[in-house]
Amino acid sequence: MSANVINVLFLCTGNSARSILAEALLNHWGRGQFKGYSAGSFPKGAVHPLALELLAQMHLPTAGLSSKSWDEFSRPGAPTMDFIFTVCDNAAGEVCPVWPGHPMTAHWGLPDPAAAVGNAAERMLAFREAFRILETRIRYFLTFQFKVLAREELQRNIEAAGKLAARVQ
């Protein structure tokens, strides 16, 4: 891990909703000690409008958020990632690029709010639920003692974080 900022990449297939929300949340809660990025294996090319609307409602910045390919982060000169989290089941099963620096990885899958059906309120509720789950996982992740934990224990912790905030019925 870098001495100053811990870089985290959130991956999804379309990079339009979950990974975008996670990027914004980590950049907010990481308070300059963490830098969040997002990308997709087959990016949609645009951030989902409800993701942008929700982030604005939550007073989180949306400037600079974009739907982009994960290839941008496997090229020379790209930021070296310390952690990579897949947030959708498709990206977890895909063959990922070889990441410089051998970052730690974990699957943090959750339902795709962009696939929600129903009226506007029901679709926004799906985005709010994804936001809540990601916020819980990210805030837990930020409590880890990164400089103290052995790599194996840190790996167990990041995997456990991906199981937090399962949908409550």
pTM over 0.85: yes
Q: What is the pLDDT of residue 7?
A: 96
- pLDDT on residue 5: 95
Cα 87 to Cα 3, 21, 110, 118: the distances in Å are 26, 10, 6, 23
Q: How confident is the model at residue 91 (pLDDT cuts 50, 70, 90)?
A: low
Strand partners, 10: 38, 85
| Catalytic-labelled residue, pool 78, 96, 104, 165 | 96
Check 88, 133, 138, 158 and give the catalytic one.
88
Nearest to 62 by CA among 29, 31, 21, 26: 21
pLDDT in tens, 16-69: 999 999 999 999 999 999 999 999 989 999 999 999 999 999 999 999 999 999
Is 96 a known active-site residue? yes
Residue with more model confidence, 33 or 89? 33
State the pLDDT at residue 68.
96
**Residue 168 — very low, low, confident or very high, per pLDDT cuts 50/70/90?**
very low
**Residue range 132-164, pLDDT digits in tens:** 999 999 999 999 999 899 999 999 999 999 999
Question: What is the predicted pLDDT for the residue at 64?
Answer: 94
97 has a pLDDT exceeding 60: yes
Please confirm, yes or no, whether 12 is among the known catalytic residues.
yes
Catalytic residue list contains 88:
yes
- Phi/psi of residue 78, nearest 5 degrees: -70, 155
Residue 96 has pLDDT above 90, yes or no: no
Q: Residue 114: which of 46, 59, 24 has the closest Cα?
A: 46
Between CA 46 and CA 124 the distance in angstroms is 18
- Domains of the chain by range and CATH? 6-161 (3.40.50.2300)
Residue 76: its pLDDT value, please?
87
- Which carries the bigger pLDDT value, residue 121 or residue 74? 121
Instruction: Out of 6, 11, 12, 126, pick the active-site residue.
Output: 12
What is the C-alpha separation between 80 and 77, in angstroms, rounded? 8
pLDDT in the model for residue 74: 84
What is d(CA 135, CA 14) in angstroms, rounded to the nearest whole number? 20
